[in-house]
Amino acid sequence: MSQNIIARSDWRFRVDKALETIEQLEPGLYSAILSQSTIQAGQLSNINAEAFASQEDINGKKIQWILLDSSILNHWSRNRLAGTIFHEALHHKFWEKYRSLFQDEQSLKKEHEYIYNQELQFLKRLNALEEQIYLVQLMKEQGIKVYK
Q: Is residue 148 part of a domain?
A: no
Rounded CA gap, 38 and 124, in Å?
26
Residue 96 lies in a domain: yes
Residues 47-103 have pLDDT tens digits of: 667 887 888 888 888 889 999 998 888 899 999 999 999 999 999 888 766 665 556
Q: For residues 98 and 75, is the Cβ–Cβ distance under 8 A?
A: no
Question: Are 121 and 135 within 8 A, CB to CB?
Answer: no
DSSP 94: T
Q: pTM of the full predicted structure? A: 0.90
Give the separation between CA 126 and CA 48, rounded to whole angstroms: 28
Residue at 111 is within a domain = yes
Q: Are 29 and 90 in contact (CB under 8 A)?
A: yes
Answer whether residue 68 is part of any domain: yes
In a domain, 147, yes or no: no
Range of the domain at 125: 5-141
Q: Is residue 34 part of a domain?
A: yes
The CATH number linked to 123 is 3.30.2010
Number of domains the chain is built from:
1
Report if residue 146 sits inside a domain: no
Does the pLDDT value for residue 110 go beyond 90? no
pLDDT in tens, 127-146: 999 999 999 999 999 999 99
